[in-house]
Structure 1
């Protein structure tokens, strides 16, 4: 089910010799003197993968073995291996260890874009005040102290049982019959989507997807060789007439008929589905025999009344993708999928989870985070901070003559543009170019949809749009 290049890389399982570690500590200090030890180890390993000293398929030393050879803690190696896995430099096999996945692109040279452009990545993590890094770091320390050999044993079923029990318990208010056997862990929400896509569709298949939708999800679908059939979303409702029309183009086999939709503070709109919109979507799913993939990574930042398709459906034809890490930290990539009971024994899904699922270390860290009373307090503070930042950003945009595509219900995203009649309107290319110069993480409507829009709009991340920078940006783009 993996791509051919990744699969062939994993089939080559030559152990790593000692030569690649020659001079590693010195190279780490020279390459990244301002970083922490774990980050420097990540850089050192990446350099050796780039220059060929660590070939694709090479088996890495165990956490304890590498820590002993380098004279550093097992926690440092654990954190580095997790980061390298998140960067797709290493892959893990439960019960076997870590392997080099592929050779990453070399570091940028002098011809790279200016620093301001490099920092304008629209998908970069939010500033530190919007993250729960310390919460995750403390959980990592506790796990590393308690289980230094966390990566040495085989994992059961669809993930760590203790974590699946905890996640199931958190959803029982809405799904009283939910059992841990219906929970699958995943390496982030995109990792969950990848598992479901590869288990239930084949290259050349098309899937229904709301429009606009997360650009990372759209890219993933196309990277896996699947097509997208876009269903316009009008605020809190899907265009059901368009869904009815597009559903006729899906594969005939029921398990390959998928609809991806967000109900709580969707990316990029930041709006929730209305109860009526959710009910209409479920009716259409039943009418066309669709498997619904409810993308729910941002529910922790949504109003309490936001509907849940999984709860309304009773987990009959909806798989809900939730996230532990989306609102926390880039240090942790952990999501989960709530599955209808009859889908839990799918051999393809279990096989893909074994290959693409999260490491046991990440699962144990997630357990610690969810058990920590500080997690709920962090979400409360984050919601308050995002509300303030969102209101401030919307006020600044409105003052500059922009119109919001939708007023967001919560979360970090806000879409706005200059509507017809607000001439002179800058071109999309001019806006994006100026945003890069200002270091603002901005993306245009074309990254999220191909369906017609009421006007050209851009997605703003309110956590990265400070007053001074945004005002300066808007002033310069209107008066170059």
Structure 2
């Protein structure tokens, strides 16, 4: 981080830029919203880095009304000058606030406040049937330990982007994302999709951001969508929060239940409106099982039969040691949009994904408009470029796969030794689902298991978090990257002998 004594960051030297500070409505957020900001940051979050403290300070002011929805934020240089910090610190903070959906951005217009996030525990005015999207702070979804993350790769990429910042600040953002990043992503997929063009790649603010863009562009509130079950808890929450209805298509290991899909399809929107199927192929969350070639073929046949647009959630492919099929490749990008993760395996601080689109969907005006508002920041895109071009990235993925394989085998052994049964033996990734089979004694209730897991500090989620599809046994999702031997052994012993 640059020193505040640097003349280019001196608040006095930057005083002329103060006119960039937009005066929001006086009743809700006057010009004094920055008063005491640095002190509040230091007091509220003394253990965090400067960028994260700035995030907390700004978010607090949005929450308490000092920054009203629609307020235009100071430019990066103006805020850096006012606070006496580096432009890199402000850029990183704005990117994080954007990822949290506290701030939005428009090409050429800078950043503005999106809405007032609720304080923790404040659920007034929210209908019970509509869960929050931003609940990823639950224990079983916290970031994996440092040895499973690519923080070193990201930090080095951040340094390179920060050094090049004067060369790319300002200007109009290109549609669908940074051209260099889109070319890098297209090149990585040309083995399976040889005719893929960079124009068919859309960047996104994480896999949930990609799903949000596609759902909002192609469906309307009240529409039903087909979603495999079990499915990611955050994805389910997103669909419901957007006002769409979920029709659960059971996932039977490596295949969808096509008979169930055929029965549900007539309940999808008609009259020429978009009909969506959301499905995961490689190392699905939470099961950790990849779709078989036969299962993928059956899913594509059903999509053609019922005129479905398929959203293939492929964010975990980098953690699939087996050669999982790709619906987008098998379909030739005709009716499949593939969501891939750029940052899933790297760091919780970087939230960036991409969507591979059929050529005939590229000019969708609704999708382009949503990307302008909800897409990732150029800063994050440039960091992703550096990471993908780094020769150490493939080595990191190989090392991560090995570490997860060892952790998965260790966790499965401990679970089996305690009398639990795996719902499926995962093909890879960080998740393993298991439970006590019927007839085993003692067989503790779900609430007792979850309460004890919280006491032990064990990241655990119940089957009900991921959908209502019946399974042969009551199961729980374990994150193998978080399951240290001692904690898991203590937990299982306590549950077996309460």
Give the TM-score of the pair, scaled to structure 2.
Answer: 0.89
Equivalent residue, structure 2, for 1:232: 250
Counterpart residue number, 2:24: 14
Selected match of 2:407 from 389, 404, 407: 389
Partner of 2:128: none
Is residue 147 from structure 1 mapped to residue 165 from structure 2 by the alignment? yes
Q: In the aligned structure 2, how far is the partner of 1:468 from the partner of 1:13?
A: 55
Q: Does 1:363 align with 2:381?
A: yes
Q: Give how far 1:348 is off.
A: 0.7
> What is the rounded CA distance, in whole Å, between the counterparts of 1:205 and 1:120 in structure 2?
29
| Structure 1 Cα separation of the partners of residues 432 and 242 of structure 2 | 29
The residue aligned with 2:484 is 466
Over 6 Å off, 4+ runs: none
Alignment CA distance shift 1:258-1:375 (3 Å): same
User: Does the Cα contact within 8 Å between 1:158 and 1:350 map onto a contact in 2?
Assistant: yes
Alignment of 1:343-354 (within 5 A): 343-354=361-372
Q: CA deviation at 1:303?
A: 2.2
**Take 2:361 and 2:327, find their aligned partners in 1: how far apart are those partners?**
17
- Tell me which residue corresponds to 2:14: none
Task: Sort the Cα spacing of 1:223 and 1:29 in 2 relative to 1 into closer, same or farther, 3 A.
Answer: same
Cα deviation digits, residues 401-453 of structure 1 (max 9, x gap): 11000000000011000010112200001111111111212111111111221
Q: Deviations over 1:197-232 (max 9, x none)?
A: 111111111111111111111111111111111111
* Residue number in structure 2 paired with 1:241: 259
1:317 paired with 2:335, answer yes
What is the alpha-carbon distance in structure 1 between the residues aligned to residue 224 and residue 467 of structure 2? 15
Alpha-carbon distance between aligned partners in 2 of 1:150 and 1:23, rounded to the nearest angstrom: 31
Uncovered stretches (5+) of structure 2, i.e. residues with no partner: 1-21, 123-135
Give the 3 Å change call, closer, same or farther, for CA 165–193 of structure 1 in structure 2. same
Q: What is the CA–CA distance in structure 1 between the aligned matches of 2:77 and 2:167, rounded to whole Å?
A: 7
- 1:92 positional shift: 1.8
Q: Contact 1:237–1:278 at 8 Å: present in 2 too? A: yes
In 1, are the aligned partners of 2:229 and 2:251 still within 8 Å (CA)?
A: yes
CA contact (8 A) 2:225 2:275 kept: yes
**Structure 1 stretch displaced more, 402-411 or 48-57:** 48-57
Q: Mean Cα displacement is larger for which, 340-349 or 152-161?
A: 152-161
Q: How does 1:177-196 map to 2 (within 5 A)?
A: 177-196=195-214
- Are residues 1:32 and 2:45 paired? yes
Q: 1:381 to 1:71 in 2, by over 3 A?
A: same
- Deviation of the 1:67 alpha carbon: 1.1
CA distance in 2, matches of 1:218, 1:332: 22
Quote the offset at 1:144 in angstroms. Answer: 1.9
* Counterpart Cα distance in 2 of 1:205 and 1:224: 10
Counterparts of 2:246 and 2:313 in 1: how far apart (Å)?
16
TM-score after normalising by structure 1: 0.93
Partner of 2:433: 415
Is 1:168 equivalent to 2:186 in the alignment? yes
Match of 1:159 in 2: 177
Distance 1:331 1:119, change over 3 A: closer
Question: Secondary structure of 2:139's match?
Answer: coil
Q: 1:98 to 1:367 in 2, by over 3 A?
A: same
2:98 aligned to which of 77, 82, 85: 85
Matched with 2:420 is 402
Question: How far apart are 1:253 and its partner, in Å?
Answer: 4.2
Residues in 1 aligned to 2:76 and 2:237: alpha-carbon distance in whole angstroms? 33
Question: In structure 2, what is the Cα distance between the partners aligned to 1:13 and 1:180?
Answer: 40
> 1:75 aligned to 2:93?
no
- Cα distance, 1:254 vs structure 2: 4.8
